[in-house]
Amino acid sequence: MTATVLQSRTTSGTLGVWGGTKDDQEGYIDYSNGATNLKSPRDIDMVAHDMRWMECPPTLMKNGYELVKIPTTVTAEQLLNGNTPEGKEYIQDVYFKECEKIIQEVSHGAGVIIPTSFRIRQESEQQKKLGEASSRYSPRPVAHLDRDTTTAITVLRETVGVERADELLSKYKHWAQVNVWRPIGAKATKWPLCFMNHDRIPDWDFATHTGRIYSRNDPRVADRGEKVYDCVAKLDSRYDYHYVSNLAPEECLVFCSFDSDPKLAVPHSAFWDHNTPEDAPIRRSIEVRSLVFF
């Protein structure tokens, strides 16, 4: 089902995509010394459609992403405290349960939901070079998917063990990594999240539409689990770009950062909105990742 627009509510912006490698080989980064064969990400100018004004807005189960208005009982201070041991434990105990309920509602009854990790991002200097360790908690300005089938199976096995993972994969043919993304403390006016809708790309797949960046000495393993490579979105003229204007803390975006059905796997990224007010607040957000079996 293709999302359609009721009124022409758009903004113009800039988004980073795969820029290729210097030697035409698979990309790599060594986080210990910064060695890489990557070219700089390619910045593209695009027009993003506001999901608030769509006649048929995208849904998780039809398009891979959805806007929902479900507030949290966790305060901004408690969320921002998530980088401390005590704060991390509180988020895993309280906020993870809220995210499970959100996914249950949006998916209309998923069979199994396993929260695995979370990330708090606070706006800082935007990094132009993929792989700078200092960018790990800032909005990531390059369109990507969190995982593909290979790396999703890796995190599944790390989380539940090989035997349980094999049981789940045998029982459920459709599964995904579903992210719940929420701004903290203020509306996400600056560096909003953009989804690259590929409803008009019937042959879209990880192998054809992403570039791989293999990691060495990756400091992010502690936050997100082992991942041999990252998947960065390649440009295709058939993409449509969707975002939500002024996403509020009582709202959240629920989306498939990996899906065993490629049509539901959504490339996404923070993007620079050319119409961002000069006094827009600093963007802060929390993102919880869960493995979900349908």
Let me know: does 1 contact 62? Beta carbons within 8 Å: yes
SS3 (DSSP) at 211: strand
Tokens of residue 293, six digits: 């079996």
CATH code, domain with 101: 2.60.120
Q: Measured between alpha carbons, how far is 62 from 259 in angstroms, rounded to an integer?
A: 12
Residue entry with tokens 């908690």? 137
SS3 (DSSP) at 88: helix
Q: Measured between alpha carbons, how far is 200 from 270 in angstroms, rounded to an integer?
A: 22
User: pTM for the whole thing?
Assistant: 0.91
Residue entry with tokens 């706006």? 123
Domain count, the chain: 1
Show the domain range for 257: 25-293
Secondary structure element (H or E) that encloses residue 120, with its range: strand 112-122
Q: Kindly report the backbone phi and psi dihedral angles of residue 240, in degrees, each rounded to the nearest multiple of 5, phi listed first.
A: -110, 150
In this structure, is residue 189 part of a structural domain?
Answer: yes
Let me know: does 48 contact 54? Beta carbons within 8 Å: no
Instruction: Quote helix, strand, coil % in the chain, to nearest 5.
Output: 25, 35, 40
Q: For each of the chain's 294 residues, which pLDDT tens digit applies?
A: 566 555 559 999 999 999 999 999 999 999 889 899 999 999 999 999 999 999 999 999 999 999 999 999 999 999 999 999 999 999 999 999 999 999 999 999 999 999 999 999 987 644 433 334 434 433 448 999 999 999 999 999 999 999 999 999 999 999 999 999 999 999 999 999 999 999 999 999 999 999 999 988 888 776 666 788 999 999 999 999 999 999 999 999 999 999 999 999 999 999 999 999 999 999 999 999 999 999
Residue among 216, 220, 230, 188 at smallest CA distance from 51: 188
In this structure, is residue 177 part of a structural domain?
Answer: yes
In this structure, is residue 233 part of a structural domain?
Answer: yes
In this structure, is residue 44 part of a structural domain?
Answer: yes
Q: Measured between alpha carbons, how far is 178 from 20 in angstroms, rounded to an integer?
A: 28
pLDDT of residue 135: 43
In this structure, is residue 100 part of a structural domain?
Answer: yes
Find all residues with CB under 8 Å of 82, minimum gap 6, and list them. Answer: 88, 90, 91, 118, 120, 286
Q: Measured between alpha carbons, how far is 88 from 170 in angstroms, rounded to an integer?
A: 32
**Encoded amino acid at 76, one letter:** A
Find all residues with CB under 8 Å of 181, minimum gap 6, and list them. Answer: 193, 252, 253, 254, 255, 285, 286, 287
SS3 (DSSP) at 237: coil
Tokens of residue 206, six digits: 């990880």
Find all residues with CB under 8 Å of 85, minimum gap 6, and list them. Answer: none
Residues 48-83 as b or e (16 or more Cβ within 10 Å = b): bbbbbebeebbbbeebbbbbeebebebeeebbbbbe
In this structure, is residue 139 part of a structural domain?
Answer: yes
Q: Measured between alpha carbons, how far is 194 from 215 in angstroms, rounded to an integer?
A: 25
pLDDT of residue 177: 99
In this structure, is residue 12 part of a structural domain?
Answer: no
Let me know: does 266 contact 89? Beta carbons within 8 Å: no
Q: Measured between alpha carbons, how far is 107 from 83 in angstroms, rounded to an integer?
A: 29
In this structure, is residue 5 part of a structural domain?
Answer: no
